[in-house]
Amino acid sequence: MILTPEELAAIRRQASEEYPHESCGVIVTRGAERRVVRCRNAQNDLHASDPVRHPRDARTAYSIDPADLLRIGRLEGDGFSVAVIYHSHVDAGAYFSETDRRQALIGDEPLYPGAAYLVTSVMRGRVDSVAAFRWDAARGDFLPVDLAVSEPSSGRHAT
C-alpha cells in the first residue's frame, strides 16, 4: 500500500489549493499509524533571495521549508519513517522529472530508498492525474509503480 483514499484526497486537495504553485509534503508511518505532513513550498523565498542560484520559482519547483524539515526530523526521531514524498507539477504531467531525480538522490543513492514518490499533475487549477514512483536499485533509477490505494487503519491522521 502506498496511501489510503483519505491521504490521496488530502494530497489532491492541497495540490489544487496551492495552484499555481507546486505543493509538497510527506506521509510518515510508525507501525499502523500514518500521518500526512503538509509542507510549505519555500521555493519563492529561495528565488527571491538568490535568483541566480535559484532561477526557478514555486510555479516550476519546490523546496520543503526548513521548519517543515525539522518537524519531519522530529517525527523520525520519534520512530516514524518517511513512506511517501509528494509534490505537484503545475500545468505539466505527473512524471518524475530529472530535477525530481536529482533532489531525491545523494550521490547515486536515494535519501529515502524505501519511500514512494508521488507526483500530482494540476492543470489550470484542477488535478489531472497522480503517479507514483519507487527506487529500483537494480536499474539505479526511479520507476513508475501502480498507485496502490487501500483502506485506512485506525491510526491515521493529518498534521
What are the tens digits of pLDDT across the range 14-54? Answer: 999 999 999 999 999 999 999 999 999 999 999 999 999 99
Q: Which three cell numbers mark 97?
A: 522529472
Query: How far apart (Å, rounded) are the C-alpha atoms in residues 34 and 53?
Result: 36
Q: What is the pLDDT of residue 1?
A: 82
- Per-domain boundaries in the chain: 5-154
Fold of domain 5-154: Cytidine Deaminase; domain 2 (3.40.140)
Q: What pLDDT band is residue 155 in, cutting at 50, 70 and 90? A: very low
